[in-house]
Structure 1
Amino acid sequence: MFFSDEYKDGVFYGDQNFSIPYHMNYGAFVLEKFLKYKDKVALINGDTNEQITFGDLAQKIVNTTTFLTQLGVQTEDVVAVCSENRIEFLIAACAVFCVGATVTFLNISYGENEMNHAVNISKPKYIFLSGSASDSHYENLKKHNMIRKYIFFDNPPAKQQNVISFRDLADENIDLKSFKPVHFQGRIMTCMILYSSGTTGPAKGAKLSNLNYIIASQQPQPTERDLTMLTIAPWCSTMGIVTTLQGLIFGKKIVYQSRFNERAYLRAIEKYKVGYAIVAPPVLVILCKSKVANEYDLSSLEVVTSGGATTNIEVLNELKARYPSIKCVIQGYGMTEATGAVTNDFEKSFKEGSVGKPVPGIIAKIVDPDSGKVLGCREPGEVCIKGPVLFEGYIGMDLDKDLYPGGFYRTGDIGYYDEDGYFYIVDRIKELIKYNAWQVSPTEIEAILLKHKDVKDAGVTGTPDQLAGELPTALIVRQQNSQITEKDVIEFVDTKVAPWKKLRGGVIFVDEIPKNPSGKILRRKLKELISESRTRKVTSKL
């Protein structure tokens, strides 16, 4: 057995040596990096070919920062961005960093209840809205009195108070040389609020600091080569915003799309000679099974990074067999609470099937979740982490219950490490459902179901799906004499949740929801009931 100096007494230490600027402002850090690549193309909209250089991106960030300052945005104010992936999204986010405020991202796909919940957690005073976001959410958002101004990327509604056009604030050029972002004088300040679903209910607001992001942005990229990068991950998600900003900080040209469309995705690889793609596991499956991929020249694609959920090694092998230009498919493991990556692998040293080694800024160990004992090589247990990239905590919640002695955060994920110190994720303690790398809280869906007058009791779990990972599935106990149908239940939930939380796994009616003596739902039993129900259906058709 061999370990480097990064391993001691059951604990793995990622590199803890970083350059920390005294200003402690992530926006200032980003601007300094962007200006190193001034004339190089930074972002390309893969659907419209709209492009912007690093220099122009920096200029628009400075222009927007200056306007926000004039508007009265102050340190510790919260500013929200609700938009699909577009250049203005990143300009707005980086400007909020520079002005010293906190940015939060409101998912454009949220239902009304989820939007209200997120707004009530973060309490933004200002909101940037795209046209699509405005169409879906503006009328509802106006009900929240804490919001002072709405800044519209597209055409603002006529004759509305507290409305500003983004075009009016981003066009007046401010002198880059004289511009100075807010200086925090070495203080650790909150930079971002992201939403992390838990098993106890709706999303929690995770606070990430400027220091968290400055350190995470110094973690090496999976490939050191200057390959054009393609991403479709929503920038409102941890995976989307972290990987995009990290790529830009390292000077990568990034092609982005707002949503996945098979032909558009393949066309973008061919048109922009994409060499490096960041994807969720379902996209790998689609590429493996694609009936149209042969119509496109994908020979430029050499490196693929997959995150959000583990991927079956057979899928990885099938992908490389079909697309010989792909030299490696790298898997990583991360979470919002770690400012992105916990472990990662690299083109020069990747081990197929693993999720790599702890990244800089992470200290990790594997612990028996019952006894708290630190476990050894190839002994599965709970992955526990700490370090300077660990988040500040959840808004309005005590973090102590999620920590082991010594400040190690309990991830809720089961994993192990091998003789070379590479990590593997095998299961989850937490009961989250992962649909297309999005997290779904079973208890959140159960709470919605129990509001239906014909539902006596409900339990929700995930059922395996090769394409999506897991499908949210409900087991329902009807009220006496109720004639509620599967369609009724699905439509009831559809109107109240985001697309990834819909009951795509269907509904099964049962006599009782299995629970332990304290009343906690036994989700393992739910999965058994689903399996039995589907076996009976198959048998009845024979």
Structure 2
Amino acid sequence: MDKFQYNEQTHELFVKRETEYQPYPGGLGKYYHDRLIQISTEDETSIAQIDAATGTTQTFKELLDASKKLAQYMRSVGIKPGDNIAMCSYNHINSEVVIVAALFVGAVMSSTDPMLSLEDSKHLLNMVKPKLLFVSDGSEELIEACVDAIELKAKIISVSLNSHNEYDTIEEILEKTTIEEDFEPFLVDDLNTVCSILFSSGTTGLPKGICLTHNYIFSSLSIYPTVILNWVILNYATFYWVSCVFNLQMSIQMGCARLLVRQFKKETHWSICSKYNVAYTFLSNTIFMEAAKYLPDLSELPSLKQVVVGGGLVPEKYLTTYYEKFPSIYVGYVYALTESGLVASYQAGDKFGSNGKPVPNNLTIKIVDPNTEENLPLTQTGEIRVKQAHQMAGYFKMDSKDAWDAQGFLKTGDLGYLDNDYNLFIVDRIKEMFKYRSWHIVPAKIENVLSSHPDVLYAIVIGKPTYNEDENHAMAIVCLHEKAHASAAELEAFVNQRMDNLNQIRAGVKIIDRHEIEFTPTGKINRRSLKSKFIS
């Protein structure tokens, strides 16, 4: 039977799995425990992690032992299954130990990112209220400010060797702990139990907690084999991003070594890949575009097999550069959502310029007119909606019913279409937020600051495409009160003095008359009309 099954009446495309999904009894903690033992038994020297800054390595056996010790410590301080644990860390060998140990005890793991603003960090930590909070150097001051502001009663532990404060460190905990002979990971009865809460920006300006289950993570990567490849894989994302969660699953599932690099630098990315014999690298779309400027000859990357890009749209010129420079390397383009996992993946032979075809994971995809809720036929543009057995379990402590339509399809908020060969094309966003260098920018945050200026009547912020690694720059369209005289430069400075670096206005302020603003039938400002008018 063809894996693509298109229903001409409902205009829904079902993409069938080639093999049935087989969950692992006991959950991710049990799976990681058993898999780490299996890899270590086959080769005790097999490398799990490499720190590019120091050259330090950790074997799968060492990862297993460290995770067991930290899990025992967690239990000793009262962490129980279902308790929340959080981390704010740059990539570090001990970051993975925290994740695996949390799964061993059945705790629910969340991660913020050191690059987040104080306000967002406070909101996220106040949302999950973790009992343990792991930090790395470079994030300690941010976390301390959050803890003080929200009066969080969490024990702070440093993942780094040295802490500027009097925190316990993971290294000290591991040194003092002996592995119990009868250690066993917590067994999950229901694989639809939440094991992780990741965060996504909301259209109101406040991030939401996305609840992921054991089934979600197993199912998302079960289309890949369980083999030992001895690859070195590189992904710059921290555990704040779902790509890093998948990277960890891939590492343990396929026996790959994770190369840890604290920060992407376009001048050194490919030399690092060469030095450490990287076989697979996952890059955000912004990093992918920056790295395109420094592509070496293929002969300098003898181990490279796959370059995968995700996180947003990539102009064709960048893809063409990679294809021409790396003709024998798989260069893939994926479309995924934290709420749903992998949706589409570009493969050789797919339509150039598309996001590829929907993945064979018993996934159903349809294109819907967001105004009428009518399913649209092939080649027509509407909202992309997806349904599969294992998606997010909802938003943490929020009413999540609006995330799905009446038929149980997840609303992606993305506009696109399927062509006659079932290639998926992403066209635009329905949601107001846009991306700057892979970070979601929520217009409401900037608009709230602009609206606090006494001269401003209306403030609308949109993303102006840059067609480079920045993706979009924030542009403000402003209508002033009658007889007000604020200049565009004054309003731009007013915002930028009050916002963090990610939320700066970079495409300027456009002051318009009241009559130039169009409203929807419900009385809301028609953002799409303004975007069409002021962005050519």
- TM-score normalised according to structure 2 size: 0.88
| Superposition deviation, residue 153 in structure 1 | 2.1
What's the counterpart of residue 451 of structure 1?
Answer: 452
Q: Could you say if the C-alpha distance between residues 43 and 217 of structure 1 is closer, same or farther in structure 2, counting changes exceeding 3 Å?
A: same
Alpha-carbon contact 1:59-1:174 (below 8 Å) kept:
no
* Corresponding position: 1:201 with 2:205: yes
What's the counterpart of residue 60 of structure 2?
Answer: 54
| Superposition deviation, residue 457 in structure 1 | 2.8
User: What CA RMSD, in Å, does the superposition of the two structures yield over aligned residues?
Assistant: 3.0
What's the counterpart of residue 79 of structure 1?
Answer: 85
Aligned counterparts, 1:380-419, within 5 A? 380-419=381-420
User: What one-letter code is carried by the residue in structure 2 that aligns with 1:288?
Assistant: A
Provide the aligned length of Structure 1 versus Structure 2. 522
Percent identical among aligned pairs is 24
User: What one-letter code is carried by the residue in structure 2 that aligns with 1:55?
Assistant: K
Alpha-carbon contact 2:518-2:526 (below 8 Å) kept:
yes
Higher RCO by CA contacts (8 Å cutoff, separation 6 or greater)? 1
Q: Could you say if the C-alpha distance between residues 472 and 186 of structure 1 is closer, same or farther in structure 2, counting changes exceeding 3 Å?
A: same
What SS does the corresponding residue of 1:393 show, helix, strand or coil?
Answer: coil
Alpha-carbon contact 1:222-1:345 (below 8 Å) kept:
no
User: What one-letter code is carried by the residue in structure 2 that aligns with 1:509?
Assistant: I
CA distance in 2 between counterparts of 1:243 and 1:124 reads: 24
Q: Could you say if the C-alpha distance between residues 528 and 429 of structure 1 is closer, same or farther in structure 2, counting changes exceeding 3 Å?
A: closer
Alpha-carbon contact 2:491-2:509 (below 8 Å) kept:
no
Q: Could you say if the C-alpha distance between residues 465 and 405 of structure 1 is closer, same or farther in structure 2, counting changes exceeding 3 Å?
A: same
User: What one-letter code is carried by the residue in structure 1 that aligns with 2:64?
Assistant: A
Q: 1:230 aligns with which of 230, 234, 252?
A: 234
| Superposition deviation, residue 487 in structure 1 | 6.3
User: What one-letter code is carried by the residue in structure 2 that aligns with 1:239?
Assistant: S
Aligned counterparts, 1:94-113, within 5 A? 94-113=100-119
More moved, 196-205 vs 126-135:
196-205
| Superposition deviation, residue 241 in structure 1 | 2.5
User: What one-letter code is carried by the residue in structure 1 that aligns with 2:396?
Assistant: I
More moved, 250-259 vs 123-132:
250-259
| Superposition deviation, residue 199 in structure 1 | 2.1
Q: Could you say if the C-alpha distance between residues 453 and 523 of structure 1 is closer, same or farther in structure 2, counting changes exceeding 3 Å?
A: same
| Superposition deviation, residue 174 in structure 1 | 4.5
| Superposition deviation, residue 257 in structure 1 | 1.7
* Corresponding position: 1:318 with 2:321: yes
Deviations 1:274-318 (A, max 9, x none): 23221122233223333x847992354332111011222332112
User: What one-letter code is carried by the residue in structure 2 that aligns with 1:412?
Assistant: G
Q: 1:333 aligns with which of 332, 335, 339?
A: 335
CA distance in 2 between counterparts of 1:221 and 1:234 reads: 24
User: What one-letter code is carried by the residue in structure 2 that aligns with 1:145?
Assistant: E
Alpha-carbon contact 2:199-2:209 (below 8 Å) kept:
yes
CA distance in 2 between counterparts of 1:26 and 1:207 reads: 15
User: What one-letter code is carried by the residue in structure 2 that aligns with 1:67?
Assistant: Y
What SS does the corresponding residue of 1:246 show, helix, strand or coil?
Answer: helix
Q: Could you say if the C-alpha distance between residues 169 and 372 of structure 1 is closer, same or farther in structure 2, counting changes exceeding 3 Å?
A: same
What's the counterpart of residue 306 of structure 1?
Answer: 309
- TM-score normalised according to structure 1 size: 0.87
| Superposition deviation, residue 417 in structure 1 | 2.5
Q: Could you say if the C-alpha distance between residues 223 and 466 of structure 1 is closer, same or farther in structure 2, counting changes exceeding 3 Å?
A: farther
CA distance in 2 between counterparts of 1:531 and 1:158 reads: 49
Q: Could you say if the C-alpha distance between residues 77 and 263 of structure 1 is closer, same or farther in structure 2, counting changes exceeding 3 Å?
A: same
| Superposition deviation, residue 524 in structure 1 | 2.3
What's the counterpart of residue 212 of structure 1?
Answer: 216
In the TM superposition, structure 1's runs of 4+ consecutive aligned residues that sit over 6 Å from their partners are: 221-225
Q: Could you say if the C-alpha distance between residues 248 and 486 of structure 1 is closer, same or farther in structure 2, counting changes exceeding 3 Å?
A: farther
| Superposition deviation, residue 263 in structure 1 | 2.2
What's the counterpart of residue 535 of structure 1?
Answer: none
| Superposition deviation, residue 359 in structure 1 | 4.3
| Superposition deviation, residue 209 in structure 1 | 1.4
More moved, 326-335 vs 509-518:
509-518
CA distance in 1 between counterparts of 2:369 and 2:141 reads: 49
What's the counterpart of residue 489 of structure 2?
Answer: 486
